[in-house]
A and B are shown apart, each in its own frame.
Chain A
Amino acid sequence: DTGVSQNPRHKITKRGQNVTFRCDPISEHNRLYWYRQTLGQGPEFLTYFQNEAQLEKSRLLSDRFSAERPKGSFSTLEIQRTEQGDSAMYLCASAGGGDNQPQHFGDGTRLSIL
């Protein structure tokens, strides 16, 4: 399968714990995006990488959130000191070429905070 891969698919943790999610994009794609989606809502943009450079961050991305893409390939999203409100689906997408190229989404990591 050469699509976008996200791990883990599900994560259950206690409030206050740190969690880290991984995204492996389609190999030739230089653009990588993270989104958050809550039930019944559309995805909300979190951050965007072009190669290893983090070019944009949403105001939704508080200082408890950090994302990296160290070698311009896979990316990680870490949430420190998790809160109940962090419970959501975290989606990763990748794209190649220009702005009008479609984004290919992974199936997300569903985070549940107890």
Chain B
Amino acid sequence: KNQVEQSPQSLIILEGKNCTLQCNYTVSPFSNLRWYKQDTGRGPVSLTIMTFSENTKSNGRYTATLDADTKQSSLHITASQLSDSASYICVVSARGGYQKVTFGTGTKLQVIP
């Protein structure tokens, strides 16, 4: 069964600090992995997307890594800001149709002053 597990479930950090969120997946055959940011009461916003051949991708203070061998991804947030407070969702797609997209349950990040 295709699964995406994220850790930690929630995280509180001080403004200005860095943090790393984890995503482990068992989706096969792998197509791509995306990270989304979802503010409370809003729709998810795409941060990064990586295919099998990419092992890192940056978007401003967000850097995602992918290890396709161990089926792990991480999202690193540098110099956190209060506006980074949100849920971060890892989404993995398998080849062969859109039924094969699996969402993680997200990591809820709270940045405090």
Contacts and interface: CB of A to CB of B under 8 A. Distances in A.
A4 B93 CA distance: 22
A40 B105 contact: yes
A62 interface: no
Interface residues of B, number: 24
A15 B83 CA distance: 37
B6 to A, nearest CB: 9
Interface stretch (B13-21, B37-45, B65-73, B74-82): B37-45
A103 B49 CA distance: 10
Contacts of B91: 42
Contact of B51 (A91, A100, A107): A100
Interface in A1-15: 4
Interface string B9-29: 000000000000000000000
Given A41-B105, A42-B105, A100-B51, A93 B98 contact: no
Given A42-B89, A42-B105, A102 B49 contact: yes
A108 B46 CA distance: 15
28 contacts: A4-B43, A41-B105, A42-B91, A42-B103, A42-B104, A42-B106, A45-B98, A45-B103, A56-B97, A56-B98, A56-B99, A58-B99, A91-B43, A91-B44, A99-B31, A99-B32, A100-B31, A100-B49, A100-B51, A102-B34, A102-B46, A104-B46, A105-B43, A105-B44, A107-B41, A107-B42, A107-B43, A108-B43
